[in-house]
Structure 1
């Protein structure tokens, strides 16, 4: 079980990726041949679930990026058994390099419209194989943007299970209809 923060920052649209959604994404990336022996980057890593899962599945190196220093500290503690994982406190705009696989559950743009776009643009800049989760409500725009820049391989409907973490949440858990997207950069 991964350590979670005592509180989340709504302005950063911090929502934890539930274990079922994370395992679905990681299993698909692994089965596609894009984890084992690969360099993986997890943009907006939060508690480190994708980077740690990538190490567990045999990534040669996994990097987790998050702008929130508290999340980076939690990620580092969570990853102690996995020496292939590295966590960096940085904004997405400061990320550089080339990675075999980009994995992300970016902000959905619910609080700040199009807040997911810097993540998408960065993924296309630094990665070859891109796995991303998006709110189904914004997918028309996202699909058009992706289609012009990468070959869409798979789009799968999933439900992100979000716990009650903010004052405006009224249910113990809420499921958000989402899409898991996999594509290869052109």
Structure 2
């Protein structure tokens, strides 16, 4: 496969990854737009966190960060998600792209144990954008990432919780090096949604362990 040398080309590749086939409200499943995923992956690549690294995408959904990392030269890339429908789709997409450095696993992230070293973790967990959402799910993901012991963590969170998160990261010996800010579009995919589309301010914290 031809090496990707421009962020726009990465975005175009990621645009071909479909959304969640059967989004489940209890899992707060929202597909990361290709423009956001490509920007974050491109930045991570520039910081030396992808090429030749072992990458893990926790709560991967349809696999955008796992597949994107594989496209950008990760040594290995693993996506983990509890939703079998999304994993099946991710496997299908990676197969069509003929990627031999990516794999997908159906598992609750709390039960997952890679059994080997991980260099970089990406995660876009349920970050509580729904009024009735189970708060604190993103912190569960952070704690799991700490347990797995990567060198670097990229984690999505609600921007409104930034001050709390900075203290939480510091209290858990995570050194925040970068904060990326995005307007994350929430489409009308569940019955309780009243708007066709709503933007939510999110941050991605890059932390070194």
User: Same fold by TM-score, threshold 0.5 exceeded?
Assistant: yes
TM, length-normalised to structure 1: 0.94
Q: Quick check: 2:22–2:85 contact (8 Å CA) kept in 1?
A: no
Q: Which has the larger radius of gyration?
A: 2
1:37 aligned onto 2:52: yes
In structure 1, distance between residues paired with 2:18 and 2:202: 24
Q: Quick check: 2:158–2:202 contact (8 Å CA) kept in 1?
A: yes
| Counterpart residue number, 1:180 | 204
In structure 1, distance between residues paired with 2:69 and 2:53: 9
Structure 2: which 5+ runs fail to align?
1-15
In the TM superposition, what is the alpha-carbon distance from 1:167 to its structure 2 partner? Answer: 1.4
| Counterpart residue number, 1:83 | 100
Q: Quick check: 2:152–2:207 contact (8 Å CA) kept in 1?
A: yes
Segment of structure 1 superposing worse, 6-15 or 61-70: 6-15
1:133 aligned onto 2:156: yes
| Counterpart residue number, 2:136 | 114
In the TM superposition, what is the alpha-carbon distance from 1:14 to its structure 2 partner? Answer: 0.9
In the TM superposition, what is the alpha-carbon distance from 1:173 to its structure 2 partner? Answer: 2.1
TM, length-normalised to structure 2: 0.84
In structure 2, distance between residues paired with 1:21 and 1:94: 28
Q: Quick check: 2:58–2:79 contact (8 Å CA) kept in 1?
A: yes
1:146 aligned onto 2:169: yes
Q: Quick check: 2:20–2:61 contact (8 Å CA) kept in 1?
A: no
Structure 1: which 5+ runs fail to align?
none
SS in 2 for 1:78: helix
In the TM superposition, what is the alpha-carbon distance from 1:23 to its structure 2 partner? Answer: 1.0
Q: Quick check: 1:43–1:92 contact (8 Å CA) kept in 2?
A: yes
SS in 1 for 2:151: strand
In the TM superposition, what is the alpha-carbon distance from 1:5 to its structure 2 partner? Answer: 3.2
In the TM superposition, what is the alpha-carbon distance from 1:141 to its structure 2 partner? Answer: 2.2
The RMSD of aligned alpha carbons is: 1.3
Higher relative contact order (CA 8 A, sep 6+): 1
SS in 2 for 1:99: coil
| Counterpart residue number, 2:13 | none
Q: Quick check: 1:92–1:118 contact (8 Å CA) kept in 2?
A: no
